[in-house]
Amino acid sequence: MVPTMATTGEWVIENRMISVKDLERGDLVTYISPLDPSRTVCKRLIGLPGDIICVDPTGVDAPSTEHVVIPKGHVWLAGDNAEISRDSRTYGPVSMSLIKGRMAARIWPLRDATIFRNNFTYID
């Protein structure tokens, strides 16, 4: 999630008392990796069930004209640094049952403390 979060050395507050129906586009969520179930990863929620998503807006992993409809019970997740992120562009829609929490704030290092606000703009 570089540049939003560092790869090491940060302390964060994660809200695990969430209902997946309350998730919104732009939320930072933690989930069990579909590629390695022993890992928990953090990505930005881009699409909700029923949304039509451009698979790869960068055009690197898939043509930028390729779109997918997010199935019921799934979401589309993307890293903030598309060039190096393994996300839904790699493994497709992610089951909501894999989501474990929503990131609330970074508390360490103190100079970088921040509340993670949802600044996502959705155009309908």
When pLDDT is averaged across residues 89-110 and rounded to a whole number, the result is 91
Tokens of 2: 């570089």
**Is residue 106's pLDDT more than 90?**
no
**Is residue 28's pLDDT more than 80?**
yes
19-28, 35-44, 111-120: least confidently modelled range: 111-120
* 102 closest CA partner among 12, 18, 36: 18
CB 65 within 8 A of CB 85: no
**Is residue 49's pLDDT more than 80?**
yes
Domain ranges of the chain: 11-109
For the domain 11-109, what is the CATH superfamily, name and number? Umud Fragment, subunit A (2.10.109.10)
Mean model confidence pLDDT for the chain: 87
Its pTM stands at 0.85
What does the alpha-carbon distance between residue 21 and residue 54 come to, in Å, rounded to a whole number?
22
**Is residue 66's pLDDT more than 70?**
yes
Would you state the pLDDT for residue 29? 95
**Is residue 3's pLDDT more than 70?**
no
Tokens of 15: 């809200």
What does the alpha-carbon distance between residue 120 and residue 87 come to, in Å, rounded to a whole number?
18
When pLDDT is averaged across residues 13-39 and rounded to a whole number, the result is 92
When pLDDT is averaged across residues 37-42 and rounded to a whole number, the result is 94
